[in-house]
Amino acid sequence: VKRALAVFACLLLAACQGAQTPLAPAGEEAGHIFSLFTLMLWVCGGMYLLVLAFLAGAIWRARRKLAAGSDRGLQRGLTVWTGLIVVGLSVLITASFLVDRSLAEARRREALVVRVTGHQWWWRIEYRAADGSWIETANELHLPRGRTARVELRAADVIHSFWIPNVAGKMDLIPGRANTLDLTPRREGWFRGQCAEFCGAQHAHMTLDVKVEDPAQFSTWLARQAAPAATTADPVLARGLAVLASQPCGQCHRVRGTPAAGRIGPDLTHIGDRRSVAAGTLPLTRASLQGWIAQPQALKPGVNMPAVPLEPADADAVARYLEQLK
């Protein structure tokens, strides 16, 4: 039992350090929500203990077989109890109201505009540039520390839910409707978002890599994302691009600056720069790219990407080409 308790305590503590937990807030919004959660936990926990104490007292008195009739002590106890409930609920209502106001505070700030569209089962991410154009990427969200990002949430097919527990609360992405969520990250690092609304067989494989970074670093990253793919003279890489553009790959995926101009699947212009492939399903390596191209249905059954039969040398060239798209 001792060992089990120790393991459980370690798991609890580990959860507090994690990249996907609301218990270690790294954003202003998540911080407000965490404070409200802590207050609710203490108030409701205290009430719960009082109920148990009251129950124990009742059992103890019943055992002593008190004489029937009016019981002044009980009456006084009930009055105090009712008062406690009124005070407790008032505290919680006031706190909820104040936290709601704090969350709305970010709405008044100038913000970075990001559009996130939920697809079965990946995230299309677009940043609005200074000139009004949109810079597209997928499955990896970068955010500048200390600046509010206004995320416009849309859905392409079914209802999804956008949740980066360390940074903010969750918000649904609903077809035919645009919702907005403000994110103000305060701590740098890698975090993990997860679709939080069941959206089909691969709902669990709809995750999002989130990087909160220094504003200057973020600007450099965004400028790099805006650029088209670099051209290459290497014959193997050129073959990879030729295969990608001539085979069905290029009808669904876009690599800006090349003939591959599909808009159905994730934009691959800088896929080599990302941390994972297939919305967090696999870490991004050449081997995982090769595996994903060869057998998407084995790795993520039901996904819209079909297996395109390629010669082994062609598949290898495509994986090498994608890997170096930084």
Interface positions with ligand CUA (CB under 6 A): 118, 121, 160, 195, 197-199, 203, 206
> Cβ 317 to ligand CUA, closest distance in Å?
32
**Alpha carbon of 29 to those of 72, 181, 322: distances in Å?**
48, 10, 36
Distance CA 48, CA 30 (A): 26
In the 8-state DSSP scheme, what is residue 302? T
> Cβ 121 to ligand CUA, closest distance in Å?
6
Choice between 168 and 315, CB closer to ligand CUA: 168
CA atoms 7, 8, 10, 14: torsion sign = positive
> Cβ 82 to ligand CUA, closest distance in Å?
43
Query: In this structure, which amino acid lies at residue 129?
Result: A
Contact 307, 295 (CB under 8 A): yes
Give me the torsion for CA of 292, 298, 299, 304, rounded to 10°: 70
Distance CA 211, CA 214 (A): 10
**In angstroms, how far is CA 256 from the centroid of its own chain?**
27
> Cβ 100 to ligand CUA, closest distance in Å?
26
| 28 contact partners, CB below 8 Å, separation of at least 6 | 106, 184, 185, 186
Contact 187, 50 (CB under 8 A): no
> Cβ 174 to ligand CUA, closest distance in Å?
12
> Cβ 176 to ligand CUA, closest distance in Å?
16
Choice between 99 and 206, CB closer to ligand CUA: 206
Choice between 117 and 258, CB closer to ligand CUA: 117
Choice between 182 and 197, CB closer to ligand CUA: 197
Choice between 32 and 119, CB closer to ligand CUA: 119
Choice between 118 and 250, CB closer to ligand CUA: 118
Nearest residue to 58 (alpha-carbon basis) of 46, 34, 74? 74
Choice between 181 and 199, CB closer to ligand CUA: 199
> Cβ 279 to ligand CUA, closest distance in Å?
9
